[in-house]
A and B are shown apart, each in its own frame.
Chain A
Amino acid sequence: MTPSLVRRNHWVVRLTHWVNVVAVTIMVGSGLRIFNAHPAFARPGERFPLNPWEGHGVPDWLTFGAWLGGARHWHFAAMWLLVVNGLIYVAFLALHGEWREVTPHRGDLRAAIEMIKFYLFVNKTHPRQGKHNALQKSAYFAMTVLGVILVLSGLAIWKPVSLGFITALFVNYKWARVVHFTAMALLVVLILGHIVMVFAVDPYSLRSMISGWYNDAKSPEARNARPFYHLFGPGRSAKATPADEHAA
């Protein structure tokens, strides 16, 4: 297999991606520490049946910041990293035209079904759907939308009086807190799915998020790769070639 290297990710995308990894890790960890100070959504004297784990915090090892006050310092410092980095990313996509690769379009639902059919062995060949397939596209788009919701609901609970008009977007402080937590949980699910899929389907894309280069000959489309295909499938033939090692 001859490597066919292509430039896949612009340095702005790569940089903001890894800064985002740091920012989101700190925000989630410190946020969970803050949550553990009062791991419930009900106001005193009320009930909140929507949360089956009302009153139960998350394990300490998932948290960051050591204590409530410490975690708040981390949360309110890292929020600037998250927001500035996010704005750079979105501005770059908007100005560079790359927003088209991560926003939903007509036919994406059909394309997503095609992908699922392929993963479930209903279809034999990997659909070709551009830089990102429809499943990736919807995941990446959802992550950005969740990011916006997280920042807005975060402002709503940070400044419920000064920025009361933002809090009102989420009904009130209590519901803004519910939205903030739920959006975080959904984002974490998408991130975990993203990490699993990178290693399970397209580990070669890791290089494209570091150096920017991508070997098209190793793409899931070229390898006809389903999740864990390179571990269990006949695709063991997709083992790295010597020429490729040097490029890495």
Chain B
Amino acid sequence: MTLDRRRFLTISAASITGALLTACNADPEAAHPLLAFAERKNEGVEEALFRHDAMDRVPPGARLAGAAFPRYFVSPTVPVWDAGVRGLWRLEVSGAVRQPLSLTLNDLMDKFPRVSQTVDHFCVEGWNARAEWTGLRVSELARAAGATPDARFVDFKSFDDDYHESWDMPSAMHPQTLIAYGMDGNLLGPGHGAPARVHSPVKLGYKNTKYLTAVVFMPMKNGGYWTDRGYEWYGGT
């Protein structure tokens, strides 16, 4: 080889710098099949790590986010259920169940065991916020509706535009996965998904459908609002 050392070093330094600069803030398409493969494998790992007795624990007396708890929705304005136009709000429970249910907010509050828990909310962006959530366990809902063995996934639908997110059944049946109608001791506000929303520390925030309208048990998953926009479907913590 006649390449002298100085030139070799210059060329290698230049090509490494060049490669890094082209890579800057890039997302090379060619790697996407590999990334999709990794996501499927990671899903398997995450499901294997998932346990119903692994709980999110917030120490007693921890400071809650309160009014600073971020609000978000995908509609241009805050979605509010207008009973005058749409009739009384009801939660429809359907799909792979023996007994489909249509429940009013009072039904949710009175016919199911009421659970209050102070837990983390983990946002995909990286922050976490604490609040006390009150509601009923999704597992109670599944029991009341008689979810069949076909129910391997659950879709949580919303009246916030076309927002929905489907979940794997084990995550939905986690004891900390709630249909919440209360937050920090008050009824859920319009900024946080009133009248009822999904809240669970076992999934990232975007999986926690707000402005809930329907819970559909399904044999197949059907993506979700952010999932269809490229975020990972599992989104578990």
Residues of chain B lying within 8 A (CB to CB) of residue A33: 25
B86 at the interface (CB under 8 A from A): no
B65/A66 in contact, CB under 8 A: no
Tell me whether A162 and B129 are in contact in the complex, defined as CB-CB below 8 angstroms, given that A60-B25, A61-B24 are known contacts.
no
From A63, which residue of chain B is reached at the shortest CB distance?
A: B25
B129/A44 in contact, CB under 8 A: yes
From A72, which residue of chain B is reached at the shortest CB distance?
A: B232
A73 at the interface (CB under 8 A from B): yes
In whole angstroms, how far apart are the Cα atoms of A206 and B16 in the complex?
14
B2/A245 in contact, CB under 8 A: yes
In whole angstroms, how far apart are the Cα atoms of A160 and B68 in the complex?
22
A124 at the interface (CB under 8 A from B): no
Residues of chain A lying within 8 A (CB to CB) of residue B70: 44
- Shortest B50–chain A CB gap in Å is 6
B23 at the interface (CB under 8 A from A): yes
B85 at the interface (CB under 8 A from A): no
Q: Mark B183-215, 1 if CB is under 8 A from A, else 0.
A: 000000000000000000110000000000000
A161/B9 in contact, CB under 8 A: no
- Shortest B199–chain A CB gap in Å is 13
In whole angstroms, how far apart are the Cα atoms of A158 and B234 in the complex?
12
Tell me whether A69 and B35 are in contact in the complex, defined as CB-CB below 8 angstroms, given that A240-B5, A246-B1 are known contacts.
no
B8/A164 in contact, CB under 8 A: no
Q: Which of B50, B65, B126 contacts A45 (CB 8 A)?
A: B65
Q: Which of A61, A70, A73, A161 contacts B38 (CB 8 A)?
A: A73
Question: Which A residues are closer than 8 A to B by beta carbons?
Answer: 25, 29, 33-35, 37-38, 40, 43-46, 60-74, 76-77, 80, 157-164, 173-174, 177, 199, 203, 206, 240, 244-246, 248
Question: Which B residues are closer than 8 A to A by beta carbons?
Answer: 1-6, 8-9, 12-13, 20-21, 23-27, 31, 34-35, 38-39, 41-42, 46, 49-51, 54-57, 63, 65-70, 120, 122-130, 201-202, 226, 229-232, 236-237
Q: Lowest 5 CB-CB distances: which A-B pairs, in order?
A: A45-B68, A77-B38, A66-B27, A38-B125, A37-B125
